[in-house]
Amino acid sequence: MFPRMRVGADAALFDMQRMRMVEVQLRARGIADERVLAAMQRVPRHEFALEPYRNQAYEDHPLPIGEGQTISQPYIVASMLEALALRPSHRVLEVGTGSGYVTALLAELSAEVISMERHASLADAARQLLAEMGYQNVRVIAGDGSRGFPEAAPFDAITVAAAAPELPRELVAQLAEGGRMIIPVGREDTQQLQLIEKTGGEVQVRLREMCRFVPLVSGSGPSSQ
């Protein structure tokens, strides 16, 4: 799927910056999944940034998006996507829609994305932007993603954009056989990405990069979509 990109006066400059991001920040640092690299080349990160930060959209650091939330740095996003080993047929649950940037990348890489965001204002903005960009395989739901979305489970992949103090068993239970989940685990000052794989009903945990995410907060249940 190739969604419509909005064109602006700085489109050519942003295109060059995005290409450099992919080659220098991602490929040169070990991201090897060509589908992930191609998706990150296609999706315009600057469209998901607030106006004061658009000129920083292709730098390798988080960007504020309001409500105390951020767009994660491109390298961490790419690493998490690569770890999920997504296929075009996969159904994905995203916990923490935020700006919708990672949601768009997931939509590029899979068949269906259910994305949950506890801040209704962020959910509404992301839902509108993703629709404007032409993504039709995404549902954005305002609600408590820490509990997942059991009515649509199981999922082939789950990605969590907030740090849990320990592995959330409710999310693990919603993984399909052979499914993968990537999630930051730990306290505010010490977090590490964990890759969870479910094989033969057993759960395997692999420790990955150290990281820094906002905390996973439990809130209200699903309210809109």
CA dihedral sign of residues 142, 145, 147, 150: positive
Q: Distance between CA atoms of 92 and 39, rounded to whole angstroms?
A: 16
Structure-token match 């999922």, residue found:
155
| Cα end-to-end span (Å), the chain | 22
User: Annotated active-site positions, please?
Assistant: 72
**Token pair in block for residue 160:** 């969590």
Q: Which residues pair with 194 in a beta bridge?
A: 183, 207
Radius of gyration of the chain (CA): 16
Give the integer Cα–Cα distance in Å for 170 and 167.
9
Query: Are 125 and 100 a contacting pair, CB within 8 Å?
Result: yes
Alpha carbon distance 118, 95 (integer Å)? 9
